Amino acid sequence: MFTDLPLAWLQLTREPSRLLAAVAGVAFAVLLVFMQFGFSEALYASAVRFHAALVGDLFLINPQTSYLVLTRQFSRRRLYQVLGFDGVESVNPLYAALALWKSPYDGSARNIFIVGFDPTQKVIDLPGVDVNQQFIRLPDVVLFDDASRPEYGPVADQLKSSKAMALDLEQGHVSVQPSNTVSVEVSNRRISIGGLFRMGTSFGVDGTLITSDLNFLRLLPNREKGLIDIGVIRLRSGVSPEAMRATLAAYLPHDVEVLTKRGFMEREKAYWATTTPIGFVFAFGAIIGLVVGLVIVYQILFADISDHLAEYATLKAMGYTNRYLFSVVFQEATILAVLGYVPGFLVSLWLYHMAENATLLPLRMSLSLELTVLGLTVGMCCASGAIALRKVRSADPADVF
């Protein structure tokens, strides 16, 4: 197919302005697809960061739970029933809810996600949690997510500026004196932020607090201690999570759902992909980008073929088949795909960095994403070439001679 590549290249470069317009059109389509896919992957990755940080093999939830921020409670007794099974090492109840945060800086109010658990147990594995977990045993003391939205105020900066605090979240080294706290109001109750951890935001969570189960119930007095949001189950070494999940699901009543960690994460992703319009919007945006690129490349190829129709007819008269001429068109389409992909990819890298800083969402350029978009770009351009082939078929040597 590429034995006569110079012919396709020479035809494209004959009019540099047209080639530049085609490359710009493809680059725009590539950029749009990269951004849509990037935000889509960031949506799902950020949605399950909390799930991934839970130290457990199996999880109990209420089947009516929609997603992490909109949970339904179930009886804590269900979780303790699990302790009777061989292979279960430990269980931990976890409370989760949205609470109203009142900024100590400007008085503004906004929702914040708050999680409570037994501070004597290792339930959440996030940078900063282990070394600060001792402080949430104190009444009305919480930990604040260092990667929360800036609208919550410079809480982290205020804590970090304290001379008594040596903070290195990246390496997990944090030293905080109990007196070095920031006082805020949550759910109309004055509390103290005694330390920081790092998780990050998502489409459903702008900021997060971690505290003890007792502090959680103080902040939300309408919640019953016997009703929990998530049951975290740790299994003994060598026990199959899938096999134990099936055993527990068959034993426990239908008012709870048993999930593996992977199943727990996939359930959350499925909510955002199917129940909310966000997943559809991102997919639709990527399709629109491909359609725009397809139309632009088709117009460029059609115009190029029209300009060289006499040459194509001459080649037919010389004995060249339609198959050969088709290969030239597909070569042009592939060249346009590669030339447009490179600038689109480079601009996307820059925009990923800008968007991640602005939104605090995990926008990452992965090899699988790069190859996927490259494949879609080549397919888009080849589809444009296939549509434009009708013009090549119309090339008749009799019109020239």
Q: Distance between CA 369 and CA 37 in Å, rounded?
A: 8
Domain locations in the chain as residue ranges: 5-46+277-400, 58-238
pLDDT tens, per residue, the chain with 401 residues: 445 457 778 777 878 888 898 899 899 989 999 999 999 889 899 999 999 999 999 999 999 999 999 999 999 999 999 998 999 999 999 999 999 999 888 888 899 999 999 999 999 999 999 999 999 999 999 999 999 998 898 888 888 776 344 444 444 444 444 456 788 999 999 999 999 999 999 888 999 999 999 999 999 999 999 999 999 999 999 999 999 999 999 999 999 999 999 999 999 999 998 888 887 888 888 888 888 888 888 888 887 777 766 676 676 677 666 677 778 888 888 989 999 999 999 999 999 999 988 888 888 899 999 999 999 999 988 888 888 777 666 555 555 55
Plot region of 187 (φ>0 → left; ψ -120 to 50 → alpha; else → beta): left
pLDDT at 312: 66
The answer to whether 96 and 113 are in contact (CB under 8 A) is yes
The total number of residues shown for the chain amounts to 401
The answer to whether 132 and 194 are in contact (CB under 8 A) is yes
Rounded to 5 degrees, φ, ψ at 100 are -90, 120
pLDDT at 175: 45
Rounded to 5 degrees, φ, ψ at 231 are -105, 120
C-alpha separations of 391 from 4, 315, 330, 337 in Å: 20, 15, 13, 21
pLDDT at 300: 81
pTM score = 0.80
pLDDT at 173: 47
pLDDT at 174: 46
Torsion angle (degrees, nearest 10) of CA 357, 349, 18, 324:
-150
Report which of 191, 155, 159 is spatially closest to residue 177, judged by C-alpha positions: 159
The answer for residues whose C-beta is within 8 angstroms of residue 296's C-beta and 6 or more apart is 21, 22, 25, 26, 28, 29
